[in-house]
Amino acid sequence: MILAESPRRQRVTKLVNWGHWFALANIVIAIIIASVYVVSSPAPGTGLGTFYMFANWFGHIGFLTFFGFVIFILPLCYLDVSQRTIKTIASVLSALGLAVLAFDALLFNRTGFHLSHSSANLLKSEAANQLMNWQQWLYLLLLFVIWLGFQLILANAIWKRIDKFMTHRIGRPVVSFFVVCFVAGHAIHVWADAQLYQPIIKQDNMFPLSYPATAKTTMSRYGLLDIERYQQRKQLQFEPDIHTINYPSAPVYCAIDDTQSALLLVQTDQSSIRSAVKNADLREIEHFFTTATSAEGLISSTLFGVPELYQQSLGQESPILLALAKAYGIATQVYVEDIKFSPNQFPAVSFAESLDSSTALTIAFVSGETITSLLSNQDLSRSLIMVATGYESSRGSLYTNLPVTASLASNEDLTPTLLNALGCAADVSYYSTGQNLLAPKRDWLVSTSGEKVVVIYGDQRIEVLSNGSYDITHISNDMRSDEALNVDLLSRAIKHLTRFMQ
């Protein structure tokens, strides 16, 4: 006796098969649209981070799209309505879903945010700024109609060829691929979250509705994770990639003395200048640190009073010291000698072609030989002088004729100190992470060296990586220290360092 499927069962089976192929086609489209998230985000920078990015990309977007199919389209296949109605409804739902994904991707590309309740005010502000008229809304509607038409054509094309498609046994390999991507992405994230592995952790907000798996409590229960150590490292981690900054954090209003001349010299080599500064009767601060790893970083940290961490983001900004000098009509020059750098990094700064020490305000990045010549052959008795050394070395010295009271300093302190010596009483925290050495408020300093946060306190030099791991060394002998980490100080220092970030 031969039992054949009923016509309704055959129809449902064909619709379900059609639905799976229609979902696969839209998964591919969704993955292509989601590439906007990938190109809009910083590169992971490591092989494992890149592997996770692709696994998360295919696994998460594939899951979202298939989940939408299961919730909204698959039940339609079991309804007792015409297949044309089902295909039309499925096409409309798919067009809407992918249109929302595309809009979210464009929003992320523009602002770094996803569609959410918290981004509603931002969208309202963007819409108000764009002042979209009825022609633009009509254009968007036309684009959606075209997109809907494509979905209808896709749905009908798959329906007509469904029997041919079913001869290709690709269901299991395709499902296995997306399942492996989904599981691998979450498994890798569990490890990365426990290790605070930044190349992966920083991707947490890349895709919409993404909630990567974590298992800290379970791992700590079985002795696989020291939860106290983890919380300590998490408290110290920071994000070295800056998207937007708020610099200065408040308007800087102050008067400066336009009758006073000042000379700020930053040494770019390791030659000795001791005899020159001694003859010039300059006071020495022995604990002076220059943590910049490049010429651009040295210039940026000196002019702006913030670490090289902010260098790229400040490219279009004008240093507060130079802006105030220009506002008061003070003749100013910035001169760079014997170091290779790209002036294009600082389009807001005008660099002099030659050094003229008679200018009212001179900031020069020069060799020890030039510093010796300036201090020996020029009458600088009426000038405010600061000479900073230590570039490309573990430590240097600061020589000055200013009445400084600090015993610890870095390049970020130079601009605030010079501005205050010229009479500017504006709050230093508005424009610098350094401090006024004439009236210091901190006995520690914080800066960056590459992607490391460097904190100097007493005889300790603490270097913190972006994932929260750290090293402590004694400044006096460069030996590794076994002293306990001052977590409160580190946390306070990192917050101080990153307060211009948004």
- Residue-wise pLDDT for 157-177, tens only, equals 998 888 888 787 787 899 999
How far apart (Å, rounded) are the C-alpha atoms in residues 114 and 144? 21
Q: Which residue has the tokens 């054949």?
A: 4
How far apart (Å, rounded) are the C-alpha atoms in residues 79 and 59? 30
Confidence grade of residue 381 (pLDDT, cut at 50, 70, 90) = confident
Per-chain mean pLDDT for the chain: 85
Task: Please write the tens of the pLDDT for every residue from 104-125.
Answer: 888 887 766 788 765 565 566 5
* Token pair in block for residue 228: 């106290």
Burial class (CB in 10 A: 0-12, 13-18, 19+), 11: middle
Phi-psi region of 252 (alpha: psi -120 to 50; beta: other; left: phi over 0): beta
How far apart (Å, rounded) are the C-alpha atoms in residues 82 and 12? 11
Closest CA to 465 of 448, 484, 477, 451: 451
Closest CA to 83 of 11, 166, 175, 3: 11
Q: Which residue has the tokens 């520690």?
A: 444
| 256 neighbors 324 (Cβ within 8 angstroms) | yes
CB atoms within 10 A of CB 444: 17
Residue ranges per structural domain of the chain: 7-225, 261-434
Task: Please write the tens of the pLDDT for every residue from 290-340.
Answer: 999 899 999 999 999 999 888 888 878 899 999 999 999 999 999 999 888
Residue 73 confidence (pLDDT)? 87
How far apart (Å, rounded) are the C-alpha atoms in residues 307 and 453? 10
Residue 2 confidence (pLDDT)? 46
Report for 183-197, 311-325, 394-408, 455-469: range of highest mean pLDDT = 394-408
Q: Residues of the chain with pLDDT > 90: what percent?
A: 40
How confident is the model over 482-492, as a mean pLDDT? Answer: 78
Residue 136 confidence (pLDDT)? 67
Q: Which of 128-137, 161-170, 210-219, 248-257 shows the lowest per-residue confidence on average (mean pLDDT)?
A: 128-137
How far apart (Å, rounded) are the C-alpha atoms in residues 308 and 302? 9
Task: Please write the tens of the pLDDT for every residue from 4-23.
Answer: 557 778 888 888 888 889 99
Residue 226 reports pLDDT greater than 80:
no
How confident is the model over 213-223, as a mean pLDDT? Answer: 70
Residue 211 reports pLDDT greater than 80:
yes
How far apart (Å, rounded) are the C-alpha atoms in residues 169 and 126? 48
Q: Which of 47-51, 178-182, 203-207, 438-442 shows the lowest per-residue confidence on average (mean pLDDT)?
A: 203-207
Confidence grade of residue 141 (pLDDT, cut at 50, 70, 90) = confident
How confident is the model over 232-248, as a mean pLDDT? Answer: 65
